[in-house]
Structure 1
Amino acid sequence: METRNKSALGAVIGGALLAGGLGVGPAIAAPPEPYTDTRYAECPGDLDVRIDAVGKGKFFEVPGLDQVIAISPNTTVTITDTGDESNSVTYKANGAFHIEFLENETVVRATGVNVLTTEDPGVFLTRGNVTFVNDATGEKVRFEGPGKVTDICAILAN
């Protein structure tokens, strides 16, 4: 895998809450590694959130292709309003990300249950199949799919 793709991988998975201390390597029999990760994100309006993820995760390179699969079994994600610590939601996010590095964009197919952030202010819970595409600069160009998307920022704003 080329260096530019490892940088893109960090940006994509960072946005998807799976970067916490996990390395990229070939698929091997070792189990997913425990990790904890805390990130901050902006929501529309004046709402800022802290995102705490605790669980297990692993990256698998797809041999012969410029692709990576990231899994996060047994992961709990808590999103907290930084202005009101009593205002939070918690989800089990046990999905997978299938990441394909193309010449001018990165395509991420999220399957299962995932929490992700986007370049635009926002934090979302996705269930099912959702695809998002970032261009070479990391900017989101598409966010679509038949899966269910829940706006976590809207939940915390109420």
Structure 2
Amino acid sequence: MKKWLVSTAVLASIFAAAAPASAAPSGPPITVDGPATFTSCGFPVTGEVTGKAKNITTPSGDIISTSPGLKITLTGPDGKTASYVITGVLFFSFPSENVVEVKATGNNLLQLPSPDGLFLTRGNVNFSVDSKGNELRRFSGSGTATNICSLLAPDS
């Protein structure tokens, strides 16, 4: 499986403006500043991201994604907004050719492929996706996951 799948299977907001994980720069974090579009709510959600991001590839091929000082403001189709500090760390491992295991610590914005797939996670959560971006296992662990789609959904 190609490491670029990380950016399509799981979107921490840093991937909205960063290069694919396998092409991530070494050295200091990169500045992330600009728009992001999220499509997994069944309606458009736009975001404005500011901060820094860095992907680190370990000798084993795992990827650690950090986001010091990263902030995002999300806007739903009828103007509802939500702002978050998302300075968590994501750990991506690849136990087989077709599986991505993800451990998220701290505060992270994650986009999963399900129709209600935009979540703010806090604490320690784990999940898994396949090489096509399909969920194999939704969140487990001691952390929490808040569905952002329901918070920004248009009023009926």
Identity rate, percent: 31
Q: For residues 35-114 of structure 1, what are the structure 2 equivalents within 5 Å?
A: 35-36=32-33, 37-43=35-41, 47-63=43-59, 65-81=60-76, 83-85=77-79, 87-103=80-96, 104-114=98-108
Alignment-derived partner of residue 29 in structure 2: 32
SS in 1 for 2:78: coil
Q: Number of paired residues? A: 148
Gaps (5+ residues) in structure 2?
none
Given candidates 136, 141, 144, the residue that maps to 1:141 is 136
Q: 1:88 to 1:26 in 2, by over 3 A?
A: closer
Alignment-derived partner of residue 4 in structure 2: 7
Q: CA deviation at 1:78?
A: 1.3
Using the size of structure 2 for normalisation, the TM-score is 0.83
Alignment-derived partner of residue 111 in structure 2: 117
Q: 1:56 to 1:141 in 2, by over 3 A?
A: same
Gaps (5+ residues) in structure 1?
none
Quote the RMSD (CA, aligned, Å): 2.2
CA contact (8 A) 1:55 1:76 kept: yes
Q: CA deviation at 1:27?
A: 8.9
Q: CA deviation at 1:6?
A: 2.3
Q: CA deviation at 1:40?
A: 2.5
Which segments of structure 1 move beyond 3 Å, counting only runs of 4 or more?
Answer: 22-28
Structure 2 distance, partners of 1:59, 1:26, is: 6
Q: CA deviation at 1:26?
A: 8.6
Using the size of structure 1 for normalisation, the TM-score is 0.82
SS in 2 for 1:146: coil
SS in 1 for 2:2: helix
Q: CA deviation at 1:25?
A: 6.2
Alignment-derived partner of residue 131 in structure 1: 126
Q: CA deviation at 1:84?
A: 1.7
1 or 2 for the larger relative contact order (CA 8 Å, sep ≥6)? Answer: 2
Correspondence 1:153 to 2:153:
no
SS in 2 for 1:31: coil
Q: CA deviation at 1:16?
A: 2.0
